[in-house]
Amino acid sequence: MKKASYLILTIIILFITYNFVAKDNNQAKNVILLIGDGMGVTQIYAAMSVSEKPLNFEKFKHVGFHKTYSANSYITDSGAGGTALATGVKTKNKRIGVDTLGNPLKSILVYAEENQLVTGLVSTSAITHATPASFIASDSSRYNYENIAKDFLDVDIDIFIGGGKNHFNKREDQLNLIDSLKKNNYQVIDGVNNLDEKAEGKFAVFTADKHNPKILDGRGDMLSVSTEKAINILSKNKEGFFLMVEGSQIDWGGHDKDIDYVVSETLDFDKAIAKALEFAIKDKKTLVIVTADHETGGLTLVDGDLEKKEITAEFSTDDHTAVMVPVFAFGPGAENFGGIYENTDIFEKMMTAFGFKK
């Protein structure tokens, strides 16, 4: 009887120890989610084919696919796509952070804030645009930009960098949300080059009044510099951080059926991936996830030459398509991202990596 109870106790202790160690190994302190809007496998391979050097995409050992369809459409838009990634719920197209009935949903960014982590959003579009908005706002329409801007004041986000300043200070309702941000202790900065990454506090960094220009029209290294500075600022927090970085305009190149636009934006996005990986390799406690919300353009490569770095591309549509999109993962818990799953599973996998409870 006594021996039996010792045995049971030993088994319990071993079980607890095993679970603790196993959980610890897969647990991430930080998660950096990079979203290439409209970036399917072809967009990536097009960029790989013309690049002089191997892209950072090729460094990932754990690769999977997710299914992008929304609650009401075989083909998602960036509102429903972003909401699925951010909140783990499939909703109708055009919705932002609300379910099909219009109920607000809690995003991974909000969960991170509730768990004492610091958070950030970086985008090459307006920061109020569908993808970043999905992580911080709740609205029945992605086009309610001024309402979405207001939602930034209800979440204790630590840094956001992107365009869309006009939605904060040139509003139909005459409210000046720049003043409100300052009242909420944000340092409001114009241009990411004016952001001092050694400074403490919360930062609202506006890089454009509307959207940022294309990389082909001189956006420069805004995305990779923003990614690096956001990481440097957020990583000062001992509890960890969540950061979403969006390469927004891969999608717009697809809508324009412009292969040079698509490739240049994908190559620029790859430079932001480099910054995330550089940090994660050193830090060892950071999970980096790279994915898309959907593919745009139905892009195919019908000819090419790897020696000459040439491709011949064709678009089958100027809109989004239904195909699965790739997921690349690096860091603690990366092995959970292999396979084929729903877009909503990205949220679940991030929750698991952080060890958050719903």
Contact positions vs Zn ion (CB under 5 A): 251
3-state DSSP assignment of residue 202? strand
DSSP for residue 28: -
91 contact, one of Zn ion, Mg ion, none, CB 5-8 Å limit per kind: none
Interface characters, 26-65, with Mg ion (x: CB under 5 A): -----------x----------------------------
Return the HEC string of 142-198. Answer: CCCHHHHHHHCCCCCCCEEEEECCHHHHCCCCCCCHHHHHHHCCEEEEECHHHCCCC
345 contact, one of Mg ion, Zn ion, none, CB 5-8 Å limit per kind: none
Closest by CA position to 162, among listed 279, 247, 95, 39: 247
Half-sphere exposure of 190 (CA within 13 A, CB side): 8
In degrees, rounded to 5, the angle at the alpha carbon of residue 17 between the alpha carbons of residues 15 and 22 is 95
Q: Is residue 248 within the footprint of Mg ion (CB under 5 A)?
A: yes
Of the listed pieces 71-79, 94-102, 163-171, 201-209, which binds Mg ion according to CB under 5 A?
71-79
CB of 125 to Mg ion, least distance (A): 6
Quick one: 228 or 295, whose CB is closer to Zn ion? Answer: 295
Quick one: 113 or 293, whose CB is closer to Zn ion? Answer: 293
Quick one: 158 or 293, whose CB is closer to Zn ion? Answer: 293
Alpha helices in the chain (DSSP H): 2-26, 41-50, 78-87, 108-114, 130-133, 145-151, 166-169, 177-183, 222-234, 249-255, 259-283, 344-354
Q: Is residue 291 within the footprint of Mg ion (CB under 5 A)?
A: no
**Catalytic residue selected from 70, 73, 78, 140:** 78
343 contact, one of Zn ion, Mg ion, none, CB 5-8 Å limit per kind: none
The residue nearest Zn ion at its CB is 251
158 contact, one of Mg ion, Zn ion, none, CB 5-8 Å limit per kind: none
Q: Which of 68, 76, 78, 336 binds Mg ion (CB under 5 A)?
A: 78
The DSSP-derived string for 247-268 is: ETHHHHHHHTT-HHHHHHHHHH
Q: Which of 68, 131, 147, 227 binds Mg ion (CB under 5 A)?
A: 131
Quick one: 77 or 151, whose CB is closer to Zn ion? Answer: 77
**Residue 48 in tokens:** 């790989």
131 contact, one of Mg ion, Zn ion, none, CB 5-8 Å limit per kind: Mg ion
Whether 264 sits among the annotated catalytic residues: the reply is: no
Q: Classify 218 in phi/psi space as left (phi over 0), alpha (psi -120 to 50) or beta.
A: left
- Fill in the amino acid letter for 212: N
Burial 192-206 (b: 16+ CB within 10 A, else e): beebeeeeeebbbbb
CB of 43 to Mg ion, least distance (A): 14
Interface characters, 206-245, with Mg ion (x: CB under 5 A): ----------------------------------------
- Residues marked active site are found at 78
Question: What is the contact surface with Mg ion in residues (CB under 5 A)?
Answer: 37, 78, 131, 248
